[in-house]
Amino acid sequence: MRAVAIVLVVASHADDLLVPFWTADTGVADLDGVDLFFVLSGFLIGGILLRTLEATEIPWQKRLLDFWQRRWLRTLPNYFLFLAINIVLVHEGWMPGLLNVNALAYFVFLQNFIIPLELFYWESWSLAVEEWFYLLFPLAVFLFIGALRRHVKGVFLWVTLIMIAIPTLLRFPAMDAVATPAQLDLLVRKIVVLRLDTIGFGVLAAWAFHYFPAIWRSRRAELLLIGLFGYTTATLLRGPDSLMYMGTWYFTFSAISMALWLPALASWERVGRWGAPIAFISRISYALYLVHLPVRYLLDWFVVRTSKEAAMLQYVAYWAICIVLAMGVYLLFERRFMGMRKGLSRRILAT
């Protein structure tokens, strides 16, 4: 699922490399790779958090701090590395963008919390959505459990439903300012407080898997078919005259449908000879997500598409450079920080 998501994202930002010599529009409605990331992240993080919550022999403050340090060592080093890279590229004029005092918002993930800045570092909008979810959701769960003194199962479910309901309801008044698909993308799709629900549906799937594993496993084929039908239907309902639907219920229906794929995908342990390439792409997916746009813009400086062959050469070079650089970032930078997590966990959780 992660490998498919990153391939969709990287491919979607390079369609125009093949124009005008090759047809970029296949006529098939796009599967949103970022939303796939959101649902999958929610599922994985939800499972980790449920196991963390049930380790009641450890003080809740230590468990929460350990959860955060593991998430932040996974995500923040790469984020700030590429924030610096993007600043340099924009400052030197090698990438489009604008640098001013508002760029400070990128350092605290406020670039699209309620107002879209869109100065540069375009792909960071989705990382802001995830980071705010990682911060707010576990904090709310721990605090509600402590205040209400209820069992994890019920509190976790109610907090998840609240995190789903609030963005869903807020999208309706937000659509009053939307008149075009471009405005929908900027003012709704990429706003943190309006998109937390997509991750929430992944968390809801983790809750179902944790507490009802028998149903999860026995009904995975039926749930997959329902999810595929649901996503196809939700996508076919989109159109130039359905902006309100596209900015409101579409996000809900598509996220539910993707979450229904998880029982089947979570049980898919062996994929034959394709296992190694899929695992490799999945492993470098975060670095690849951050690498691909700088590479995409820099290529325009050096290659001119004068023929069909030149366009294809640039497209192949785009993929090859992105993968090689992402592998380098993963091996030389990202993995080093991830390796620190176990040691920090031992220190934090020690009594």
CB 22 within 8 A of CB 309: no
Distance, CA of 3 to CA of 323 (rounded, Å): 12
Whole-angstrom distance, CA of residue 314 vs CA of residue 320: 10
Residue 271 confidence (pLDDT): 66
- Please give the Cα distance from 82 to 294 (Å, whole number): 9
Tokens representing 283 are 């492993």
Rounded CA-CA distance 324/335 in Å is 15
| pLDDT, one tens digit for every residue, the chain (351 residues) | 999 999 999 998 887 777 766 665 544 447 889 999 999 999 999 999 999 988 888 888 999 999 999 999 999 999 999 999 999 999 999 999 999 999 999 999 999 999 999 899 999 999 999 999 999 999 999 888 877 666 889 999 999 999 999 999 999 999 999 999 999 999 999 999 999 999 999 999 999 999 999 999 999 999 999 999 999 999 999 887 899 999 999 999 999 999 999 999 988 776 677 788 889 999 999 999 999 999 999 887 766 666 777 778 888 889 999 999 999 999 999 999 999 999 999 999 886
In whole angstroms, give the CA distance from residue 163 to residue 142.
14
Q: Is the dihedral of CA 196, 15, 78, 70 positive or negative?
A: positive
Q: What is the pLDDT of residue 269?
A: 74
pTM: 0.93
pLDDT of residue 28: 41
Tokens representing 216 are 């999860």
| 50, 258, 318, 328 from 198: Cα distances, Å | 18, 10, 30, 31
Question: Would you put residue 241 in left (φ > 0), alpha (ψ -120 to 50) or beta?
Answer: alpha
